[in-house]
């Protein structure tokens, strides 16, 4: 979309959407919300076995900003020529090359002709394949409920696909009349998953079996006779700590492969089939424990923790060859890649010191591929030492300021802390600047030192703000002790760590302490609510889908185990007084202390932090006479990103709120 249409869109949204301060010219411009949303970033990369081709998806807003459009691209790694594989009219995901590199497979929602139904099926996600030689695409599956995830056997002769079982229509018979039932029944039972296996390249149905609702992450055994998968049996998000590994053979016989405390996930067989690796964690019943890579023999013997001495969270891993693996770990403010010898445990860092990497892939001749990003660049595609893309060229027209890592000590002396400080263009340490503190979600998340952030960071710096993004205790990126430090203390040490960082920066002399704001979403929304209930230091707050009362959150979230993980008990198991953490750490019980003008942003269909939290907070602040505004977005879930214009509205409202109260 051109910049003129972007202007029109801004006026269409709200009169307070940001305007460019300079005329369109060859000069660098200040980025606005629409500019950030329109950045083209490659996601879900796939690599052909010989590394000659790279597939990736670009996701952008539609012309009217009502939907997201995704397009699959194919790039030659030698000539760098790019071709478009799919239409922007239909959703695409999960690209993957066949084992011989002859086809590119993907999940696609385009209409297709069904020989079985003798008609065209519309808007049904199926597995498709694109012939590299002929340049044509055709549908492979014709599943009535659509295709979900899929995978190939190691020899490329089998294709395993997951789909959901068809849910029966509920009805109620009264006398001779049958009525369609429309009530919601709890507890809700998720539909079973169906495993369907096809022959390749013919695409003939080989067998199909019913699995449980939690089955996911399919891989074939080396002999192709079994499909290995992970499952928590229920498919409920609340049961995320209950995953085990299972197998099913071609005759339909199921076996449980692991049954250890805590989750075992993401199984991968070695190239020679003699070992398989999977992900575990150090503490079984909490989501914020360190994750490790373990290895076993296919018969379940010889279990070994490969990363026991690596005291950071393992994010992803793949086999490089039969004796070594590649993995990515979360270290401080980067995602770092390593190669490890499974025999000796020796590991070597392979990613650059100033980059964060993701999406590891490897060619048949051992070359390594990844996506990388930095403080100056958005995601780029790299194989070996060769950069294959130039998406960061989009940033050349913008003035975005600079950023640096801030290191400081927690006031209780327990931890060395870090955060990212984003500075305006032409930053002068002799001047004072308004500052926005942004708090990440999680709590087991973190801010990386990269250009692109989920909050409107670069828009704020372009308007003259400092933006401080701290990683307090309980964040990802530190030791296991650091990640678990919030247990039984949510809103305690983490809040103090953030305030320690704020005081540290104020002490530098360039922060205007009378013009500071705070914002965050999810856990960041909770800590925003908590912060303004504990201090009046901030003159404006933007709270996004955060927790106001832990009673309310526990009662309405699809993950009520969250409170049990962090507090260690259910609220009724302790006296309901100020010693109870459900009371003691809920902003709701300090509502009369809140004086900060607050903007509350919430998705109507949020399953994580229910809308009731935001409604209650608005009601309390409005009654108390605190300047407050509440925006509720229809059809939106956690994060408010289902529709681009809703996402743009969230970012623009946030910036406008700070401009109103801090400028």
Taken as a whole, the chain contains a residue count of 663
Q: What is the DSSP letter of 30?
A: -
Q: CA nearest 378: which of 356, 352, 403, 406? A: 356
- List pLDDT tens digits, range 184-222: 888 889 999 999 999 999 999 999 999 999 999 999 999
Nearest-angstrom CA–CA distance, 3 and 540: 31
DSSP codes of every residue in 426-493 = T--TTS-EEEEEEE-SSSS----SSS--SS-HHHHHHTT-EEEEEE-TT-TTS-HHHHTTTTT-TTTH
Residue 511 above 90 pLDDT?
Answer: yes
The pair of structure tokens assigned to 486 is 């919030």
Count other C-beta atoms under 10 Å from residue 168's C-beta: 7
Q: Beta strand 304-305 with 216-220: parallel, antiparallel or unpaired?
A: unpaired
Mean residue pLDDT of the chain comes to 93
Residue 20 above 70 pLDDT?
Answer: no
Nearest-angstrom CA–CA distance, 577 and 579: 5
For residue 459, what are the CA distances in angstroms to 13, 160, 272, 597?
A: 17, 45, 51, 21
CA neighbours closer than 13 Å in the CB half-sphere of residue 50: 7
Confidence of residue 175 (pLDDT cuts 50, 70, 90): confident
Confidence of residue 173 (pLDDT cuts 50, 70, 90): confident
Question: What is residue 552's three-state secondary structure?
Answer: helix
Residue 28 above 80 pLDDT?
Answer: no
Count other C-beta atoms under 10 Å from residue 316's C-beta: 18
Confidence of residue 27 (pLDDT cuts 50, 70, 90): low
Nearest-angstrom CA–CA distance, 250 and 224: 9
Using CA atoms in the order 282, 285, 287, 290, what is the torsion angle rounded to 10 degrees? -10
The pair of structure tokens assigned to 59 is 């996701």
Question: E strands along 111-257, which residues?
Answer: 112-114, 119-121, 126-131, 137-139, 150-152, 158-164, 171-174, 177-180, 193-199, 205-210, 216-220, 226-231, 244-249, 254-256
Question: What is residue 395's three-state secondary structure?
Answer: helix
- List pLDDT tens digits, range 324-333: 999 999 999 9
- List pLDDT tens digits, range 36-82: 999 999 999 999 999 999 999 999 999 999 999 999 999 999 999 99
Residue 498 above 70 pLDDT?
Answer: yes
H or E element that contains 340:
strand 334-341
Nearest-angstrom CA–CA distance, 94 and 565: 33
- List pLDDT tens digits, range 138-147: 999 999 999 9
Nearest-angstrom CA–CA distance, 366 and 79: 21
Angle value at C-alpha 462, between 458 and 465, nearest 5 degrees = 90
Residue 334 forms beta bridges with which residues? 331
Q: What is the rounded average pLDDT of the residues 387-413?
A: 95
Query: Are the CB atoms for 94 and 107 separated by under 8 Å?
Result: yes
Nearest-angstrom CA–CA distance, 107 and 104: 10
Q: What is the rounded average pLDDT of the residues 149-164?
A: 96
Q: CA nearest 452: which of 35, 22, 6? A: 35
Residue 183 above 90 pLDDT?
Answer: no
- List pLDDT tens digits, range 410-451: 999 999 999 999 999 999 999 999 999 999 999 999 999 999
Whole-prediction pTM? 0.93
Residue linked to tokens 């019980």: 589
Confidence of residue 582 (pLDDT cuts 50, 70, 90): very high
Residue 244 above 90 pLDDT?
Answer: yes
- List pLDDT tens digits, range 287-341: 999 999 999 998 889 999 999 999 999 999 999 999 999 999 999 999 999 999 9
Q: CA nearest 333: which of 373, 362, 293, 360? A: 373
Confidence of residue 5 (pLDDT cuts 50, 70, 90): very low
């Amino acid at each position: 979309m051109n910049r003129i249409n972007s202007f029109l869109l801004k006026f269409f949204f709200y009169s307070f959407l940001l305007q460019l301060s300079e005329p369109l010219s060859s000069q660098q411009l200040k980025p606005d919300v629409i500019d950030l949303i329109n950045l083209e970033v490659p996601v879900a990369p796939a690599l052909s076995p010989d590394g000659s081709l790279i597939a990736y998806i670009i996701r952008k807003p539609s012309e009217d900003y009502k939907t997201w459009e995704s397009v699959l691209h194919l790039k030659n790694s030698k000539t760098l020529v790019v071709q478009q594989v799919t239409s922007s009219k239909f959703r695409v995901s999960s690209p993957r090359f066949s084992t011989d590199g002859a086809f590119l497979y993907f999940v696609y929602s385009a209409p297709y002709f069904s020989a079985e139904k003798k008609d065209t099926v519309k808007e049904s996600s199926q597995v498709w394949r694109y012939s590299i030689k002929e340049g044509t695409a055709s549908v492979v599956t014709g599943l009535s409920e659509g295709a979900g995830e899929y995978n190939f056997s190691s020899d490329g002769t089998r294709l395993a696909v997951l789909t959901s079982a068809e849910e029966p229509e509920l009805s109620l018979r009264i006398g001779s009349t049958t009525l369609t039932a429309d009530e919601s029944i709890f507890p809700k039972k998720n539909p079973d998953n169906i495993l369907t296996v096809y022959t390749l390249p013919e695409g003939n149905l080989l067998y199909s079996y019913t699995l449980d609702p939690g089955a996911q992450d399919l891989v074939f055994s080396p002999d192709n006779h079994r499909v290995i998968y992970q499952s928590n049996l229920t498919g409920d998000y609340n049961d995320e700590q209950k995953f085990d590994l299972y197998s099913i053979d071609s005759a339909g016989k199921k076996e449980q492969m692991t049954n250890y405390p805590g989750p075992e996930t993401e199984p991968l067989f070695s190239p020679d089939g003699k070992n398989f690796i999977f992900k575990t964690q150090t503490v079984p019943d909490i989501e914020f424990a360190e994750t490790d890579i373990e290895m076993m023999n296919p018969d379940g013997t010889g279990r070994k923790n490969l990363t026991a001495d690596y005291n950071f969270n393992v994010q992803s891993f793949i086999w490089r060859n039969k004796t070594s693996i590649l993995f990515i770990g979360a270290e401080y403010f980067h995602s770092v890649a390593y190669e490890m010898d499974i025999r000796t445990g020796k590991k070597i860092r392979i990613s650059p010191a100033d980059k964060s990497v993701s999406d590891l892939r490897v060619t048949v001749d051992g070359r390594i591929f990844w996506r990388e990003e930095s403080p100056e660049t958005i995601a780029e595609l790299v194989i070996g030492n060769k950069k294959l893309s130039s998406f960061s060229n989009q940033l050349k027209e913008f003035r975005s300021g600079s950023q640096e890592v801030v290191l400081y000590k927690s006031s209780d002396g327990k931890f060395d802390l870090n955060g990212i400080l984003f500075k305006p263009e032409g930053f002068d340490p002799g001047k004072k600047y308004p500052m926005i503190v942004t708090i990440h979600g999680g709590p087991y998340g973190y801010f990386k030192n990269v250009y692109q952030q989920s909050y409107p960071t670069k828009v704020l710096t372009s308007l003259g703000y400092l933006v401080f993004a701290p990683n307090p205790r309980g964040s990802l990126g530190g030791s296991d002790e650091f990640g678990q430090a919030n247990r039984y203390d949510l809103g305690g040490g983490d809040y103090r760590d953030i305030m320690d960082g704020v005081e540290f920066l104020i002490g530098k002399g360039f922060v205007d302490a009378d013009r500071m704001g705070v914002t965050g979403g999810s856990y960041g929304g909770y800590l925003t609510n908590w912060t303004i209930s504990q201090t009046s230091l901030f003159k404006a707050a933007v709270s996004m889908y955060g927790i106001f009362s832990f009673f309310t959150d526990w009662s309405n979230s699809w993950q009520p185990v969250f409170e049990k993980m962090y507090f260690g008990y259910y609220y009724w198991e302790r006296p309901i007084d100020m010693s109870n953490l459900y009371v003691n750490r809920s902003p709701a019980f300090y509502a009369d202390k809140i004086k900060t003008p607050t903007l509350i942003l919430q998705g109507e269909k949020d399953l994580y932090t229910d809308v009731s939290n935001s409604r209650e907070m608005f009601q309390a602040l409005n009654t108390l006479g605190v300047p407050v505004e509440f925006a509720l977005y229809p059809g939106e879930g956690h994060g408010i990103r289902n529709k681009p214009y809703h996402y743009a509205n969230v970012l623009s409202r946030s910036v406008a709120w700070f401009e109103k109260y801090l400028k």
